[in-house]
Structure 1
């Protein structure tokens, strides 16, 4: 890692920061209850929260389009070493996050045998690495060909080797065979990983879509005509997702191909709107808030998760400090739903303050 500032695309920074802010809010409710848009769909279906992770992958692709220029003229060994190191480090950080705090309350080493292997950062690392290879050796045409083959092939795999239920899908079967239940997520009541091995395949398409969108703007310029094309592509993806949903349900947890079409559609529309507001209309008011998040996204992501773990471990009067803060500062005077949201917003603002102080000191953590 380094602490040197880098030149960034403002619209992508704002998009990345907006996504991070929403992620922190949906991940840190004070209580059990949350407003419906701030919850994932129980199984089939789509909510605002379901758009968060795909948007991270989309902006990874957008940033990759900008960073791939530095590989021009460099040999293959340098390229492979760089992207493998970056993808591997992101994967490792995700794994260590699930292993944290590394020791049990009795100060013995936490067993690796029970540590989850796949996860959000792990998927980002894998998708970045695979997308970089596809773009490097296949270009835009290769990315398009891979995307079509991956989405259709994944649909065939889901249909051929299982169904679309929680306990019968092919994603679960492969993860159980390769990872084993102790290394999987158990938040669904059974061993099932929403960031599983097989479902990583279609998620690469989200990264490639971000790359293609950024490349389009790079080549065509930030003009109304170029943005209109992005809007048309976004609407087409949404219509495809709606039509496909009847055969292959939109489902974030097994990352169905229709889910990819749906999320890419929304991300294209959001990117087009941000570019229009920022680069054409000249909007600047309020953008700095999200720009700050967008400059140190990985560090703040890790900080937000680590602090939740710490607050859950520390006890105050026999109650988790996390829960004590919520009950004392918010639930004591507000109804459960708004209290839960206000706690999440306060936690997000605390993370933002850290990002703001880092920006003031020109500290930018990157891999």
Structure 2
């Protein structure tokens, strides 16, 4: 159990929360059969928010908290800012490179290479938020977050789309979709839509605010002038306020992950705050740490776990067999042989996803036991 004040010690709950988020990210990305997925494990078709829609903002929120824990003690050394920014730029480029590598790993086709992506967004948001954190105070960051959220609402709902469409929030004809097509072209955006990208350029701007919220919560968690119990109370209240604000703003600007709307930012940040606060209170304040290592295995090598989870399916699919004139890859072969014959379609699909999470966990556990922590 830690002291009643936060001190400078790294909080275990942050790694646990990160690990849970990565586990959830892998789970929802690896259904055995995409036709049979329980509703909470699917993204909303457009407006609305499922538990799956919260996974990505949870990770970006944690990035913000981690920035504070990594840089707070270094921020005052202005002479070192250049090195910090250089390191952040390097990490951004590595993350972008990894995202492009994963896209090419499955389809070595530069003509149709998807430029946006999950890792690309993480890298860009991390770099920008590192700059903002180093060069601004919290009050400035709060104003900046508010300006971005209001401006994003105004731009999407009042600015006409240059292709002749009136301002709208429909999937293929909104301004963010037009920007993706204009800058990346349809050959280099999400192949399943071809007309817009869920990690597109314009929607990355409000995603920055998700990480700025994480920075705000990280700074509050590091306070040493009040007790840990008071920190938990204040953060829980902050989270509830964020949820309520998100729902209220959603009445005029619908909660939508694909567009990363302002209401979605507020709603998700509120839930992130409540979730992290609960984990902090249970683990770091009350000292319930017995099985936390199970999740720290993922949290300690979060990006590595995600990258491996994206690559392993492709590697397994190198192993293939021919069945009734059709070539079956390794992933489908395992699903068809081990899960599909013995469970209902929905349960087979879910159990396959759980099995895959456990497979990646074992690979990360090997690194964890050998104390290998790959920092991007």
- For the aligned pair, the TM-score class normalised by the smaller chain equals over 0.9
Q: Equivalent of 1:360, from 360, 369, 372?
A: 369
Q: Which residue does 1:130 correspond to in 2?
A: 128
1:16: how far off?
A: 0.4
Aligned residue runs from structure 1 range 1-150, under 5 A: 8-31=10-33, 32-68=35-71, 69-73=73-77, 74-101=79-106, 110-150=108-148
**Count of aligned pairs between the two proteins:** 353
Q: Give the ranges of 4+ consecutive aligned residues of structure 1 lying more than 4 Å apart after TM superposition.
A: none
Conserved? CA contact 2:85–2:130, under 8 Å = no
State the distance in 2 between where 1:229 and 1:184 align: 41
**Deviations 1:17-55 (Å, cap 9, x if unpaired)?**
000001111100101211110000110000000000001
State the distance in 1 between where 2:43 and 2:118 align: 15
1:8: how far off?
A: 5.0
The 3 A distance-change label for structure 1 pair 168 and 182 is: same
**3-state SS, counterpart of residue 127 of structure 2:** helix
The 3 A distance-change label for structure 1 pair 206 and 222 is: farther
1:142: how far off?
A: 2.0
Q: Which residue does 2:233 correspond to in 1?
A: 228
Q: Which residue does 1:256 correspond to in 2?
A: 261
State the distance in 2 between where 1:143 and 1:95 align: 31
**3-state SS, counterpart of residue 100 of structure 1:** helix
**3-state SS, counterpart of residue 172 of structure 2:** coil
Aligned residue runs from structure 1 range 118-267, under 5 A: 118-159=116-157, 160-161=159-160, 162-188=167-193, 190-220=194-224, 223-267=228-272
Q: Which residue does 2:6 correspond to in 1?
A: none
State the distance in 2 between where 1:314 and 1:260 align: 41
| TM-score normalised to structure 1 length | 0.93
Moved more, 93-102 or 15-24: 93-102
Conserved? CA contact 2:178–2:196, under 8 Å = no
Q: Equivalent of 1:350, from 359, 366, 371?
A: 359
1:222: how far off?
A: 5.9
1:125: how far off?
A: 0.4
**Deviations 1:228-262 (Å, cap 9, x if unpaired)?**
11111111111111111111000000110000011
Conserved? CA contact 2:65–2:217, under 8 Å = yes
State the distance in 2 between where 1:36 and 1:314 align: 31
Conserved? CA contact 2:11–2:280, under 8 Å = no
Cα-Cα RMSD:
1.5
State the distance in 2 between where 1:111 and 1:323 align: 23
State the distance in 2 between where 1:300 and 1:131 align: 23
State the distance in 1 between where 2:329 and 2:84 align: 46
Q: Which residue does 1:330 correspond to in 2?
A: 339
1:286: how far off?
A: 2.2
Q: Does 1:297 align with 2:302?
A: yes
Unaligned runs of 5+ in 2: 1-8, 161-166
Unaligned runs of 5+ in 1: 1-6, 103-109
**3-state SS, counterpart of residue 316 of structure 1:** strand
1:312: how far off?
A: 3.8
State the distance in 1 between where 2:76 and 2:349 align: 49
Conserved? CA contact 2:301–2:375, under 8 Å = yes
State the distance in 1 between where 2:271 and 2:318 align: 38
**Deviations 1:118-168 (Å, cap 9, x if unpaired)?**
100000000011111111111212211110011011111111233111011
**3-state SS, counterpart of residue 121 of structure 1:** helix
The 3 A distance-change label for structure 1 pair 191 and 315 is: farther
Conserved? CA contact 1:233–1:265, under 8 Å = yes
State the distance in 2 between where 1:319 and 1:235 align: 48
